[in-house]
Structure 1
Amino acid sequence: MIRRWNPAGVARPVGQYSHLAAVPADHELVFLSGQLGLLEDGTLAGPDAEAQTRQAFANIGRLLDALGAGPANLVKLLTFVSGTEHLPGSRTAREEVFADWYPDGDWPAHSLMVVAGLARPDLTVEVEAVAAVPRS
């Protein structure tokens, strides 16, 4: 199983993430492209960061399902938010998802970047992921 931890000698994480995550040798790394707040039909889940973040994580969940994996298989997340005004909504949605996915607080490594914009002006959040899936 993936090992996540926060060693002594560095400040405690300031959010929901672990400083380190190690993948066992019998696992394959799978890189998930950035997921947007788009429903299956390609429409936006909503105009705000909270709805889009919730949907981006739902899409990651579906991709993990397709791999026969789940949130425990996530090693690293990278969230892009298009402007500081979208941070509160994105954090609210992420906290709700993480409460469900990681009730014991064993969070994957995670970075968050505020960017000037995403691929379209109506997009507020994009989330990339790396998962470790046991080899068959």
Structure 2
Amino acid sequence: MIRRWSPDAVAPPIGRYSHLAAVPADHELVFIAGQVGVLEDGTLAGPDAQSQTRQVLANIDKLLASLGAGPESLVKLLTMVAGAEHLPGCRAAMQEAFTRWYPEDDWPAHSLMVVAALATPELAVEIEGVAAVPRR
């Protein structure tokens, strides 16, 4: 089981994340490339950060399912938002997913960056991750 925690020696997290995450020896790390908010047919889920973030997280959920895993297997996430104006929508969608995925508040390590732009102008959010899955 992945262990996540935030020691008392540092300030508590300022959001929904843990400061540390450790992976058991009988697991392998799987790196999830940056996911964007596109549907299965390759079209954008919507023009706004909230709809794109919802789709990004749905895509990550599907990728984890293909490994026989779920969101509980996430060790680390990195969220990139193309401009501060997209933060509210991104955060709202993240909160929806994290409330569903982590009802016990056992969140993965997570960093968020505001960047000037992503790969194409219509993209508002990109999220990459690291998951730990039991060795097969």
TM-score bracket relative to the smaller structure: over 0.9
User: What letter corresponds to residue 20 of structure 1 in structure 2?
Assistant: L
Deviation at 1:9, TM superposition (A): 1.2
Residue aligning to 2:135: 135
Distance 1:24 1:18 in 2: 17
1:108 aligns with 2:108: yes
- What amino acid is aligned across from residue 108 of structure 2 in structure 1? P
- Residue matched to 1:48: 48
Normalising by the residue count of structure 2, what TM-score does the alignment of the two structures yield?
0.99
Task: Please list every run of 5 or more consecutive structure 2 residues that lacks an aligned counterpart in the other structure.
Answer: none
SS at match of 2:104: coil
Indicate the RMSD between aligned Cα atoms, in angstroms. 0.3
Of all paired residues, the percent bearing the same amino acid is: 71
Over 2 Å off, 4+ runs: none
Residue 39 of structure 1: aligned partner: 39
Aligned residues: 136
Residue 8 of structure 1 and its aligned partner are, at CA, apart by 1.2
State the secondary structure of the residue aligned to 1:96: helix
- Structure 1 unmatched ranges of 5 or more: none
Distance 1:61 1:12 in 2: 27
Compute the displacement of 1:62 (Å). Answer: 0.2
Deviations 1:68-109 (A, max 9, x none): 000000000000000000000000000000010001100000
Q: Corresponding residue for 1:69?
A: 69
